[in-house]
Structure 1
Amino acid sequence: MGVGDVSKRILLGRKLRSAQLGETLLPKRIALPVFASDALSSVAYAPDEVFIMLSLAGASAYVWSWKIGIAVAVVMAAVIASYRQTVHAYPSGGGDYEVATVNLGQTAGTVVGSALLVDYVLTVAVSISSGSQYAAAAIPAIQGHEVLVAVVMVLLLMAMNLRGIRESGAFFAFPTYAFMFAILGMCIYGFFELAIGDLPMAESAGLDITADPDFQQPLTTIGLLILLMRAFSSGCAALTGVEAISNGVPAFRRPKSKNAATTLLLLGMIAITMMMSVIVLAKQMGLRYVDPHQLDRLTMNGQPLPDDYDQHAVIAQIARGVFHDFSPGFYLVITVTGVILVLAANTAFNGFPVLGSILAKDGFAPRALGSRGDRLAYSNGIVFLAVLACLLIIVFEAETTRLIQLYIVGVFVSFNLSQLGMIRHWTRALEREPDAAERRRMMRARLINAIGLSFTSVVLVIVVITKFLAGAWITILAMAFFFMVMRAIKGHYDKVADELAAGDEDKVMPTRVHAIVLVSKLHKPTLRALAFAKATRPNALEGVYVSVDQAETAQLLEEWDRRNTGIPLKVLHSPYREVVRPIVDYASAIRRANPRGVVAVYIPEYVVGRWWEQLLHNQTALRLKGRLLFTPGVMVISVPYQLRSSQIARERGERDELRVHPGDLRRGRVRLRDRDRDRQIQR
């Protein structure tokens, strides 16, 4: 096993057989933290965005906070109910993409695919950037290095997911459940204090908020409507990640659809409860919260705050107030919130590769995205997502406030097309379903999807109107770019398929085979290549030597005549000491003289066992193959000759096969002693 193999084994673990795919499937208790961490983690920043938007009109606008929360909760409930229909109707894991493609056509499916790809990348960038900001607030040494910290976090998540979906899920389960326990426990205790009249005020309750000049009191009806629309669109960030479960149905244990639908229901109930509890508690505790870049709008008794004032996040202020007499509770909430913001990106690391594999299967993405790695994860998709997320983090300097403006546009585009596709799906199914009970079920499902479409379409319009100039236009451009790239890839694959389609004329044999064996010296590799070429019985056979030195050429000709190989030797003179061009020109000339024939070029190559030996041999052969492969009618045949050092690589591989690995006996693999005995018998 080489150094590269050892490093790969340490990072990723042992390879898994394709037959072990069932061992990587997830039970509901692991699937919930794997696929729901993104939606649950939005509790850490969605309420913040609601209060930031409402603060534009001053603290008096906070009276609308719980109403905005209810509106977001209603939309989330409708979307989750709609997706429960999707996972039952389309359990293959295509999710929104499959629904749109099957029911609305290829163009709609490509739009959904591009929207989801962009949203997954943004999910990683936003979650990791937010986590790095939390880390910087807790650890002063990190301040100023948020971008580096965020990139490192992305790479760590990538490594974890490359080890396989089940292993990464088990790793992420504890922090996700700890986050749910901490937030729900904080809210329950806070409501208990509220009931007994002992709920303390937030640390920012004594501050005043100066309204933004565009929202000066008193607000007009239009101004209030715009303000509420902006707050609502920011709060809808809580809906991101809901669609990941419909894309990840194949990762669930059987019955897949039922388990996925149950997980969706649990996600909805927990996320809505947590979000509403945080918003209500923040309002009751008198919280004051503004855009971190506009802290000058906060004052105390009419005086500006100190320059070093640090505005803590909404959850942090609630936790500090609720657990004012129990500091471990405060630190638990802050710690698990920071961790879950990082791990929320794991939802995208599970959804993006699956979607990429489906797009690759349909020809809209490079086929490499559809290949499973050593641990049966879609490794290329995981790496591709990590690279894109790192680029986004670097460009936007890991600032969540800037990235959040790009968020949720793509996901609501996919929501709308998915719901429209499901309505058409049920309409078509009703046309051919005679059973009355089944028809009632389908009509109920269609009504649920229709309600979901009405809600998500309104939200999409609001999001585009309120966020377009704030940065959403970048997301729309990115979606258009992915759309064009995917269509171009599809067009390329279709064109190649048309070119490769077999016809009757492809069975016609060439009229003539002219074989040439490349000769550099008259040694064992050359003699082996000559013997092999002669055994194929071509119509014409000759050796070809490129002359760059008269003395060496004369010596070769003399030895050729002395050995009497019975094969003529063609000498190509190269006054400019080129080797590749004369051979390519000569092969092309033979082909032109007989267009219906082929030219077979035999190239002797050395097989070596050490990586550095490869640098010392076969360089001319590699250049020749690269040129000849582009020459029509020319076939390139490599004739290997194993040097003694190649035995090193072969023995290394055999030793690795003979080594007993942990779990071999439990998995029923062949015992070392029996396999070794069989090898000895064969030898």
Structure 2
Amino acid sequence: MVEKLKRLLIGRPMKSTALAEEKLTKLKALAVLSSDALSSVAYGTEQILIVLMTVGFAALWYSIPISIAVLGLLLILILSYRQTIYTYPSGGGAYIVAKENLGLPFGLVAGGSLLVDYILTVAVSASAGTDAITSAFPALHDHRVLVAVLIIALLTLLNLRGVTESASILAIPVYLFVIAIIFLIISGLYQLATGAVPISGPRYGVPVGGISLFLLLKAFSSGCSALTGVEAVSNAIPNFKAPAEKNAAKTLMLMGGILGALFIGISLLAYWYGISPNPKETVVSQLAASTFGRGIIYYLIQAVTAAILFLAANTAFSAFPLLAFMLAKDKFMPRMFMVRGDRLGFSNGIIVLGVFSALLIVIFNGDTENLIPLYAVGVFIPFTLSQGGMMKRWVSNRPAGWLLPFLVNTVGMLTTLSIALIFIITKFSQIWIVFLFLPLVIFIFQKINQHYQDIADELRIDIYREKPEIKGSIVVIPVAGITRVVSSSIGYAKSLTDNVVAVYIGFDEESIERMESRWEEWNPGVRLIVLRSRYRSIIKPLVKFIDTVEWKAAETDHVTVLIPQFITKKWWHNILHNQTSLLIRAYLFKRRDVRIATFPYHLQK
């Protein structure tokens, strides 16, 4: 039943040879890996306006120069990550760049930041998408957490079906969103040009009382949330069809062009329309309503906006498992993240990402505004480390023409570092948890790595000197009577060794005498040891006997306890059987010199 449901939801297993077919074309990769960056168009401008509105409506004109500054940073990041793609075509992005050039500690900081950021990406995208839905259907506002969690579950399931299949499905809403926003911008500009909608924004360039450099920097850092997701292409280069690095670089440049055009278009439109932030209606919703009214076009724009915000999470579903794979390969995360699932994706990474992001939604009650600062600061740390790592590489290697890329990375590093510091200073009350959580993640990385190193040292052998130790074997079989399962267990044990002992624990003389009499009549060719238990305990007499056998056989024999276990036909029958065997196994499990084996007996009824 479970297997049939799994096949229905995920699909049939794929052969390992089909991995090459799972690589992405540029158009599909743009949809999957750019959805996070493109989705920020829906809330990037809004984050700037929220900060400026604390001073008053007249301050909203500052959103234009701030948006232009964000575009300048976008250009720097696109050029910088293009260099990273060609320098590190195996992927890994900031983690690999920082580890190889700045050292392992910086690499772990970058990797940990990105892992946390991808979890936040899913949470922010789901909560922002829910906001778009509740803007159109206010009745759903009280159920936004449930809506967001259900969407995360759907995306997790979709990604478990495989990269290519999810990309084919997700490409449609992503490109519909791009077309819809372009149509909204062009229509809005036409309405303004023809006078159908009057320019309602505050007068541009007029000084505003109460404005400060601190506030402008805070607004700029908030607007930089529109740049999250830019690094995803450099992390996921292995997902591209060959030549992977060229296709990844072209995808990155195309993404940057589309993102820049949409972001500045929405910012200009919001300023000219005089849009101010509303906690119950997004900026895009207000623009669409002002341009088209609340008709079918409005609802179509809201639908594709909600879709892209939800699907922005898919960027993380593509990049998180790959980064987790690289960290696991370096023994900083559990090895389960290196295992490909039935559909050739790193299923464990996908599932873990879905679970943690859903937990964040529940903890923060689906509040996008509280999540975005955490989300943004988490990505600017690896931005900075990546640029710094590339600077070190250019200076160390000095290839032909290295000076220009060095200058690009230097500007990028200084800019992203400045923004990270601005976030820390201006929004410390919202992002302080990062400084607790990130060190904890690094500590866990180091503990995992130390464990793997210790295990490797302990298990390593000298193949030229060390040979397997050959001993005899004593098999101890706990029995409760004379049954088919006991007969089968003895038959199996005697096929391994002649040194087999059956142990019966009796609570009274009558049951002991009856067992001894019947065993003598049966005569299976195995000695029966009878133990008396005055306090009706099975575990203590059995363990005491095993201790005696173990002490006598320590030098010459292995001691194996063979525990018969019923395999029931129906799942609920398990409740009626095997309780004693489970207790024995649990008690003996930690015994260093006792081996535990299970003899399964399949019941027919």
Q: Normalising by structure 1, report the TM-score.
A: 0.82
**Whole-Å Cα distance in 1 between the matches of residues 379 and 238 of structure 2?**
21
Match in the other structure for 2:240: 252
Post-superposition offset of 1:623: 2.7
Letter in 2 for 1:495: D
Match in the other structure for 1:637: 597
- Which of the residues 245, 253, 263 maps onto 1:265? 253
Match in the other structure for 1:242: 230
When residues 95 and 550 of structure 1 are mapped into structure 2, their CA distance, relative to the original with a 3 A threshold, is farther
Post-superposition offset of 1:28: 1.2
When residues 420 and 147 of structure 1 are mapped into structure 2, their CA distance, relative to the original with a 3 A threshold, is same
- Which of the residues 256, 273, 278 maps onto 2:266? 278
**Whole-Å Cα distance in 1 between the matches of residues 543 and 96 of structure 2?**
48
**Whole-Å Cα distance in 2 between the matches of residues 218 and 614 of structure 1?**
75
Q: In 2, are the aligned partners of 1:133 and 1:146 still within 8 Å (CA)?
A: yes
Q: In 2, are the aligned partners of 1:59 and 1:288 still within 8 Å (CA)?
A: no
Post-superposition offset of 1:392: 1.4
Match in the other structure for 1:409: 377
Match in the other structure for 2:547: 588
**Whole-Å Cα distance in 2 between the matches of residues 574 and 506 of structure 1?**
44
Q: CA RMSD in A?
A: 2.5
> Residue deviations 1:331-386, cap 9 Å, x none?
33222112211111111122222222222222222222322222222222222222
Post-superposition offset of 1:587: 1.7
**Whole-Å Cα distance in 2 between the matches of residues 365 and 574 of structure 1?**
48
- Which of the residues 538, 554, 577 maps onto 2:536? 577
Match in the other structure for 1:515: 475
**Whole-Å Cα distance in 2 between the matches of residues 327 and 642 of structure 1?**
65
Is 1:542 equivalent to 2:530 in the alignment?
no
> Residue deviations 1:224-256, cap 9 Å, x none?
211210110000001111112222222211111
Matches within 5 A, 1:329-368: 329-368=297-336
Post-superposition offset of 1:498: 2.3
Q: In 2, are the aligned partners of 1:410 and 1:479 still within 8 Å (CA)?
A: no
**Whole-Å Cα distance in 2 between the matches of residues 581 and 106 of structure 1?**
51
- 3-state DSSP of counterpart to 1:606: strand
Is 1:228 equivalent to 2:196 in the alignment?
no
Q: 617-626 or 163-172, which moves further after superposition?
A: 617-626
Q: In 1, are the aligned partners of 2:373 and 2:423 still within 8 Å (CA)?
A: no
When residues 291 and 493 of structure 1 are mapped into structure 2, their CA distance, relative to the original with a 3 A threshold, is farther
Matches within 5 A, 1:452-471: 452-469=412-429, 471=430
Q: What stretches of structure 2 of length at least 5 have no aligned partner?
A: none
Letter in 1 for 2:70: V
**Whole-Å Cα distance in 2 between the matches of residues 140 and 64 of structure 1?**
31
Match in the other structure for 2:583: 623
Q: What stretches of structure 1 of length at least 5 have no aligned partner?
A: 209-215, 293-309, 431-438, 646-683
When residues 428 and 240 of structure 1 are mapped into structure 2, their CA distance, relative to the original with a 3 A threshold, is same
Match in the other structure for 1:213: none
Match in the other structure for 1:87: 85
> Residue deviations 1:578-599, cap 9 Å, x none?
2233223322333234543421
**Whole-Å Cα distance in 2 between the matches of residues 642 and 329 of structure 1?**
63
**Whole-Å Cα distance in 2 between the matches of residues 572 and 56 of structure 1?**
82
> Residue deviations 1:108-156, cap 9 Å, x none?
1221122112111211111211221221221233121111222222112
- Which of the residues 559, 566, 569 maps onto 2:525? 566
**Whole-Å Cα distance in 2 between the matches of residues 142 and 248 of structure 1?**
36
- 3-state DSSP of counterpart to 1:390: helix
When residues 218 and 614 of structure 1 are mapped into structure 2, their CA distance, relative to the original with a 3 A threshold, is closer
- Which of the residues 295, 316, 330 maps onto 2:285? 316
Q: 498-507 or 353-362, which moves further after superposition?
A: 498-507
Q: In 2, are the aligned partners of 1:103 and 1:421 still within 8 Å (CA)?
A: yes
Q: In 1, are the aligned partners of 2:275 and 2:286 still within 8 Å (CA)?
A: no
**Whole-Å Cα distance in 2 between the matches of residues 206 and 499 of structure 1?**
70
When residues 199 and 499 of structure 1 are mapped into structure 2, their CA distance, relative to the original with a 3 A threshold, is farther
When residues 206 and 450 of structure 1 are mapped into structure 2, their CA distance, relative to the original with a 3 A threshold, is closer
Q: In 1, are the aligned partners of 2:59 and 2:208 still within 8 Å (CA)?
A: no
When residues 427 and 581 of structure 1 are mapped into structure 2, their CA distance, relative to the original with a 3 A threshold, is farther
- Which of the residues 441, 459, 462 maps onto 1:500? 459
Q: Normalising by structure 2, report the TM-score.
A: 0.92
Is 1:35 equivalent to 2:26 in the alignment?
no
Letter in 1 for 2:276: Y
Match in the other structure for 2:48: 50
Post-superposition offset of 1:443: 4.3
- 3-state DSSP of counterpart to 1:57: coil
- 3-state DSSP of counterpart to 1:542: strand
Identity of aligned residues (%): 40
**Whole-Å Cα distance in 2 between the matches of residues 388 and 508 of structure 1?**
44
**Whole-Å Cα distance in 1 between the matches of residues 524 and 488 of structure 2?**
12
Is 1:289 equivalent to 2:272 in the alignment?
no
- 3-state DSSP of counterpart to 2:94: helix
Q: In 2, are the aligned partners of 1:75 and 1:452 still within 8 Å (CA)?
A: yes
- Number of matched pairs: 600
**Whole-Å Cα distance in 2 between the matches of residues 141 and 64 of structure 1?**
34
Matches within 5 A, 1:405-444: 405-430=373-398, 439-444=399-404
Post-superposition offset of 1:397: 1.3
